[in-house]
Structure 1
Amino acid sequence: MVYTICIGSNEQQKDNLALARRRLKELFPDICFAEEEETKPLCCKRTAPFANQVARFRSDCPAEEVNALLKAIEREAGRKPEEKAREIIRLDIDLLACDTTVFKPEDMQREYVRRGLSQLER
């Protein structure tokens, strides 16, 4: 199965995205990353910019297992539920799609995601 994910952070962006990439490479050695892109916050009052990156990899693991691994990486980066209210997103790794099943259709339409996908399809 081919998985498409998006990584995002608005707190210590460089360090947290580097941690995510390192862990993801360990779990999914064939992973390919689009270029990292800085974006303005979409749903936050907090003005800190986000660093975002789209990635794609293959895995025989079911989507639920992949998602659990992604959430474990978020926790490793120090993500805590209580910080969400303060709009601090240390690391967010969203499972966007698996093969032709789209889990986050709204996210898939975002310009930075579309640009990342086009880079990965080259």
Structure 2
Amino acid sequence: MAQIFISIGSNINKERYIKAALAILPTHFENVTYSSIFESESVGFEGNNFYNLVAAATTDLTLEEVCALLKQIEREHGRTPADKKFSPRTLDLDLLFFDDVICDTPAQLPRDEITKNAFVLWPLAEVAGEFSHPVENKSVAQLWQEYDKTKQKLWKVEI
């Protein structure tokens, strides 16, 4: 079984789509746990605030199957292939880690945003603090401890 971590985000009807993700992921993956939900301002474009969290899970699916499944779930929840990288999202599901795999296809792993965005790193630290980043050779907790927390503002929310 592979250990996977998925970043979940939304800034369009965000409570609805976050709740949808919380409900659907356990139907496809095992041992699913979630971080707290965080709200943050948009990064890279002007838009509504985002809700973000991270799911930890295990799976027998291959890396390719997990990537395809996450894209399918996004499409089923209003995403289109034409959506730009820095734009509003109904549901954004990004695979952060698939065990300790390092690759560029079918997805960039580990995901570059892990070390760059507080809205990914803080929730990831909640569910994967002891997990070792295979490129940085540091635990996720250590990466969060070293992160410049003045770069991005985010706060926990309840939905």
Question: TM-score, length-normalised on structure 2?
Answer: 0.69
User: Aligned equivalents of 1:66 and 1:5: distance in 2?
Assistant: 10
DSSP 3-state at the match of 2:42: coil
Q: Are residue 17 (structure 1) and residue 24 (structure 2) matched?
A: no
Q: Name the residue aligned to 2:62.
A: 62
Q: Computing the radius of gyration over CA atoms, which structure comes out larger, 1 or 2?
A: 2
Task: Answer whether contact 2:7 2:96 (CA < 8 A) is retained.
Answer: yes
1:1-122 equivalences under 5 Å are 1-44=2-45, 46-84=46-84, 87-102=87-102, 103-109=109-115, 110-121=117-128
Kindly state the Cα deviation for residue 85 of structure 1 after the two structures are TM-superposed.
8.0
User: CA RMSD for the aligned pairs?
Assistant: 1.9
User: Aligned equivalents of 2:41 and 2:90: distance in 1?
Assistant: 15
Kindly state the Cα deviation for residue 99 of structure 1 after the two structures are TM-superposed.
0.9
Task: Answer whether contact 2:36 2:123 (CA < 8 A) is retained.
Answer: yes
User: Aligned equivalents of 1:87 and 1:108: distance in 2?
Assistant: 19
The count of residues paired between Structure 1 and Structure 2 equals: 121
Q: 1:69 is aligned with what amino acid?
A: L
Taking structure 1 as reference, are residues 100 and 11 closer, same or farther at Cα in structure 2, changes over 3 Å only? same
User: Aligned equivalents of 1:82 and 1:71: distance in 2?
Assistant: 13
Q: 1:65 is aligned with what amino acid?
A: E
Kindly state the Cα deviation for residue 16 of structure 1 after the two structures are TM-superposed.
0.5
Write out per-residue CA displacement over residues 68-113 of structure 1, whole angstroms, 9 at most, x where no aligned residue. 1111111111112445389231111001111112514421112222
Question: Which has a greater percent of helix?
Answer: 1
Which of the pair has the greater relative contact order for Cα pairs under 8 Å at 6+ separation?
Answer: 1
Identity over aligned pairs, percent = 31
- Note the residue ranges of structure 2 that are not aligned, 5 or more in a row: 103-108, 130-159
Question: TM-score, length-normalised on structure 1?
Answer: 0.88
User: Aligned equivalents of 1:25 and 1:99: distance in 2?
Assistant: 18
Which range is displaced more, 104-113 or 58-67?
104-113
